[in-house]
Chains A and B, each alone.
Chain A
Amino acid sequence: MLNELTKGIFRENPLLRLLLGTCPSLAVTSSLENGFGMGAATTFVLLCSNAMISLLKGIVPSKVRIPVFIVIIATFVTITDLSMSAYVPDLHKNLGLFIPLIVVNCIILGRAEAFASKNGIVPSLLDGLGMGIGFTMALSLIGSIREILGAGTLMGASLFGPSYQPFLMFVLPAGAFLTLGLTMGVMNWMEKRKA
C-alpha cells in the first residue's frame, strides 16, 4: 500500500517521468511560490477527484464516462479557484488562467482513467497524494531554479544582492522549456549513474 504513495514521488514522478501536466509546469513556475501554489492546488483537486471517481467507478455508464469524470474534476477545480481567489488573492492573480486549466491537466484525468477508475478508494487516495506530492516537488524544483537564475531571488528574498544581473531568459517562456529539459536530462543521468 505504501508503494502507491512513494511511487509517485520519484520513480513515477508525473512531470519528470510520465511527462504529464507539462502545461502548467512550464507556465507558472517562474517562481518557487507560484510553483508550490500550483502544485498544492493540483494535489488537492487530484485527491478529491481520485476519491470521488473511485467511488463512482461501478455505476458510470460507459457512453458518458469521460464527461462524468470531467464534470467531477471541474467541480473541485472551480471550488479551488473560488476559495483561492477569496483567501489567497495575490497567488491567485499570479496563477491566473492556469487554475481553471487544472481541469485539463493531463495528470488528473490520466490518473482518473488509469488508476482511480480501477482501484478502491484508499489506493486511489494514496496514489493521488503520491502523484500530487511528486508533482509539487517537481514544480517547486523547477520554480526555484528559474527564480534563482531568472530573478536572482528565492521566495522574493534577493540572494545575490542588487549587483546581480539576472539571467532574464529563465523567466521567459523559452527558459521554462530549457529548464525542464535540462532537469529531466540531469535526472536521467543520475538514474543511469546510480543504476
Chain B
Amino acid sequence: MPTELIYPIAMLAGFGLALGIGLAIAAKVFAVEVDPRVEAIEKLLPGANCGGCGFPGCSGYAEAMVLAGASPSLCPAIKAPEQKKVGEVLGVVVEERAPMMAVIRCAGKVSPENFKYDYMGEPDCATAVLLAGGPNPCRYGCLGMGSCVKACPFGAMTLRPDLPPIVDPEKCVACGKCVSACPKALITLMPVDRQIIVMCSSLDKGKPVKDLCAVGCIACGLCAKKCPETAITMERNLPVIDYAKCTSCGTCAEVCPQNSILDKNRKTVAAGV
C-alpha cells in the first residue's frame, strides 16, 4: 500500500475515530435529563402557547407544573378529558373550572358612513386609535377593525360589517389575548352562562350619547332604581351589576330606554348582538 494511499486514509480515519468518540462522550456528559412527565404533559396541552396560564407557552407551563407544582387548572384552552389526564400524570385531583368567554361591551353601529373622518390607514384598531382616538364618533366605542380578531390564537372572533366582532363561545377559551389587544379596553372575560350584560362602555351622560349611538347608555339610572334586588349601582355614568345579588330577572333590560343592557333570554339589545 503506497504511502499516498495510507496517509489520506489514516488522516481521515483518525479524525473520524476521534470525532466519533468525542461526540459520543459529549452526548453522554452533556446529556440533559428531561423529566418524562414534562413531555407527557406537554403533549396533552393544546400547544397554542397562548399564555393564558401565565407561563411562557405550554412547555413552560408543563415544566412549571412538574417541577414547581403549578396548579393544573390554569390552562384556559384545555378540554376536560385532557385536563383530567394531566391531573392523572401529576397525581393531583383537578377541580372543574367554570368555562369563561370574552365579551365586547359595545353594541353600537360601527361603519364608515358615520365615521368622523375618512380613515385610509392600516386596517387595525391599534393603529387607527392613534389618530384622534380612532374614527368612531363615540370616543369609547368599538372601531371594528379587528385587532382582537387578529390577536385571538383560537380564531374564536369574527369581524362583522357595521357591528363589533362576534365571539364564538365554543372556540373562545378566555385566554385573554383579545383583552390586551383592544385599544379601547372594551373586552372583559365573563362566565359563559351569564345572562345580563351591560353592552356599553361610554362614560358620557344623556344627550352626547343619544346623538351618536342608538344603543348607548345615557346613564339615566332607571335600571338601578327598578332592579328588585338593588344589584345595580351607577358608577361613572355606567350601571355596574353585582352578579352575586343579580337573579337575571331581566327587569333592567326591559326598562332601559336605550336597550343598552343585553338579556340573553330575550335578546333585548336593539342591535341584536
Contacts and interface: CB of A to CB of B under 8 A. Distances in A.
Given A64-B24, A67-B16, 11 more contacts: A63-B23, A63-B24, A63-B27, A64-B19, A64-B20, A64-B23, A67-B19, A67-B20, A67-B23, A71-B12, A71-B16
Interface string B13-32: 00010011001100100000
Interface of A: 63-64, 67, 71
Interface of B: 12, 16, 19-20, 23-24, 27
Question: Would you list the 7 A-B pairs with minimal beta carbon distance, nearest first?
Answer: A63-B27, A64-B20, A63-B24, A64-B23, A63-B23, A67-B19, A67-B23
A72 to B, nearest CB: 12
A119 to B, nearest CB: 26
Contacts, number: 13
A67 B16 CA distance: 9
A64 B20 CA distance: 7
A82 to B, nearest CB: 12
A64 B26 CA distance: 11
A67 B18 CA distance: 12
Contacts of B12: 71
B32 to A, nearest CB: 14
Contacts of B27: 63
Nearest to B21: A64
A71 B23 CA distance: 15
13 contacts: A63-B23, A63-B24, A63-B27, A64-B19, A64-B20, A64-B23, A64-B24, A67-B16, A67-B19, A67-B20, A67-B23, A71-B12, A71-B16
A63 B19 CA distance: 11
Contacts of B16: 67, 71
Nearest to B26: A63
A69 to B, nearest CB: 13
Contacts of B19: 64, 67
B93 to A, nearest CB: 40
A147 to B, nearest CB: 39
Contacts of A71: 12, 16
A67 B19 CA distance: 9
Nearest to B19: A67
Contacts of B23: 63-64, 67
A20 B134 CA distance: 45
A118 to B, nearest CB: 22
